[in-house]
Amino acid sequence: MIESPSHPGGTSPPGALTAGAGRDDRGLGAAWLRFWFEPANPQPLALVRILTGILGLLLLWSYASDLQAWFGPDGMVPEQVAAAWRPRWGMSLYDLATTSAALQGIFSVTVAAFVALLLGLGTRLATVAAAILWASLLHRGPMLAGPADDCLAVLLWCLAVGPSGHNLSIDRWLAARAGRPPPGSSSWARVSLRLLQVHASAITLAAILAQLKGDAWWNGTAAWWLAARAAAVVDAAGLYARSEYLMNLVTHAIVAFEILFAVGLWFAATRQTVARTALVAWPVIGMLAGEPLWGFAMAIFAVPLARVDRS
């Protein structure tokens, strides 16, 4: 299931794998090292970083208009209420904002961190800052968080591990002006890419298990329930009402795709095709479910896996 890429001349790959030189490179331990640490091209992380920055700014925009109404001094979600919803060790920097001006100030810092992430300016620091500030915002109102919010948090921490600013960034432009050569492959890039792959599969598997607990996904009516939601972006309820077969087809097609995605990412023969299909399928599913930004977030996970130069 985990393929073993070849190397010219039979030499061992550089970086983290050199410690395994002289040992059988066909063993489980060597395969584990290759999977997690074989140096990889960091350019796919730059694409994920840019898309994650866009997603983050869109989600922040959705919070902006009601920020004071929810979290202000007289807001509908007092700090004590938010704390009761958090995990035991959950905390939030937004708890420090006891005035409207302070709340707006820390929110502006959060926006600035995502802009820096998008542009690749001080990328490593910007990514960590965006991850911490985003987690703080979610912990300030955990009952308001949706699936796209949670996916963004995962994307940010996966990016924080790898060198996502080595390409398509202001950091790279400044380095080029200073005469520094483009960075090569990186073991940390591999770790970050694998974390994205693992989480993409795990999130999808969790969604499948949650769906199959309900009868609607078994009897084929789930597509109608999704379309009938007030927040649904695409109004397909009328079409489903006229064609039970179409309703059943869409319902079971969603589940079939999710299973294919969760499993297909782990096989070299199917990974690229599944990932490329996901770039279209996830946004469509998000639209049907009334969660377009969640569909966008899930498609971001598939971006690095859809590239031609996969190992």
Among candidate residues 247, 249, 245, the one with its CA nearest the CA of residue 257: 249
The whole-number pLDDT of residue 275 equals 96
Q: Which residues of the chain have pLDDT under 70?
A: 1-25, 229-235, 308-311
Spell 99-116 as b/e; 16+ CB within 10 A means b: eeeebeebbeebbebbbb
At residue 122, the 3 state secondary structure works out as coil
At residue 177, the 3 state secondary structure works out as helix
Question: In this structure, which amino acid lies at residue 131?
Answer: A
The whole-number pLDDT of residue 18 equals 42
Cβ 303 vs Cβ 45: under 8 Å: no
Query: What are the E-state strand segments in 10-101?
Result: none
Residue-wise pLDDT tens digits, 5-18: 444 443 334 444 44
Pull the structure tokens for residue 128.
């960590």
- Measured CA to CA in angstroms, residue 225 lies from 87, 144, 222, 232, 287 at distances of 31, 22, 5, 10, 13
- 57-65 CB contacts, 8 Å cutoff, 24+ apart: 57/111, 57/114, 57/115, 57/118, 58/293, 58/296, 59/148, 59/149, 59/152, 59/293, 60/107, 60/110, 60/111, 60/114, 62/293, 63/107, 63/137, 64/107
Residue-wise pLDDT tens digits, 295-307: 999 999 999 999 7
Find the largest Cα–Cα distance for the chain: 69
Question: In this structure, which amino acid lies at residue 188?
Answer: W
The whole-number pLDDT of residue 230 equals 53
pTM over 0.75: yes
The whole-number pLDDT of residue 244 equals 85
